[in-house]
């Protein structure tokens, strides 16, 4: 490491340390908790919000930013059935960890509008979702944005177009409103000859071209491997 001994150099170093301090303290208020903390949360009830088709109001290829954590991803095709399948699969995968409460679209919209009607100041999306969670006595809130859900065109051993999946998950602690975990997953199935590193998945899928439901189920299972909810 180079040490600068002159006075101007000391000022530069001091400014760098001061900037680093401001950056680190500023992040502590951003509402996003570093996963490296390794904490496991014991949620008695997890609120699973209606799955959001984030590509619905964007042109294909347009960049979408997650309103909670700022993750960016490109809008793609989302075919019918995505929201229902992902919701049911998530509920099944999470039931071994905590009690999962599903909130119907109508109830979600009603509570959201009610909270907005009594807010005296503009609320961020994160603050609004945390309020909804607390209103429904949830410890945690899981928000899902799906931006690609395309079924294969073809059959088990021959396709014109392979299945493709893309989604983003955010887990929020209702009490603090902090985002404690995020995961983005996307995959377009490829032939083994195009992706030798995908041999494990190729073997599990028995060399078949799978459906988008199969691809989504596999992706959700992989994404949830690190979710910090205590079993």
Q: How far apart are the first and last CA of the chain?
A: 45
Identify the helix (H) or strand (E) that includes residue 179: strand 179-188
Residues 89-94, mean pLDDT to the nearest whole number? 93
Cβ-Cβ contacts under 8 Å for 199 (sequence gap 6 or more): 192
Q: Does the structure show a pLDDT above 60 at 6?
A: no
The radius of gyration of the chain from alpha carbons, rounded to an integer in Å, stands at 21
pTM of the model: 0.78
DSSP 137-167: T-SEEEEEEEEEEE--EEETTEEEE--EEEE
Q: Does the structure show a pLDDT above 70 at 1?
A: no
Residue with tokens 């000859």: 193
DSSP secondary structure code for residue 54 in this structure: T
pLDDT confidence tier of residue 37, bands split at 50, 70 and 90: low
**3-state SS assignment for residue 99:** strand
pLDDT confidence tier of residue 179, bands split at 50, 70 and 90: very high
pLDDT at position 119 is 82
217, 87, 178, 110 alpha-carbon torsion, rounded to 10°: 170
Q: Does the structure show a pLDDT above 50 at 177?
A: yes
């Amino acid at each position: 490491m180079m040490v600068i001994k002159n006075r101007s150099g000391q000022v530069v170093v001091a400014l760098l340390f001061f900037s680093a301090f401001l950056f680190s303290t500023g992040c502590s208020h951003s509402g996003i908790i570093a996963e490296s903390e390794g904490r496991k949360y014991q949620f008695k009830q997890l609120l699973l919000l209606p799955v959001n088709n984030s590509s619905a109001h964007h042109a294909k290829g347009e960049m979408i930013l997650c309103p909670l954590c700022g993750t960016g991803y490109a809008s793609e095709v989302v075919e019918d059935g995505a929201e229902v399948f992902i919701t049911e699969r998530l509920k099944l995968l999470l039931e071994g960890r905590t009690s999962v409460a599903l909130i119907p679209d109508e109830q979600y919209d009603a509570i959201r509008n009610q909270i907005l009607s009594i807010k005296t100041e503009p609320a961020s999306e994160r603050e609004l979702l945390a309020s909804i969670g607390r209103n429904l006595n949830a410890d945690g809130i899981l928000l899902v944005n799906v931006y690609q859900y395309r079924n294969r065109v073809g059959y088990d051993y021959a396709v014109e177009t392979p299945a493709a999946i893309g989604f983003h998950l955010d887990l929020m602690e209702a009490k603090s409103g902090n985002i404690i975990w995020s995961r983005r997953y996307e995959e377009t199935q490829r032939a083994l000859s195009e992706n030798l590193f995908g041999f494990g998945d190729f073997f599990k899928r028995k060399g078949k071209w799978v459906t988008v439901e199969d691809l989504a189920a596999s992706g959700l299972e992989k994404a949830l491997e690190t979710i910090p909810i205590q079993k």
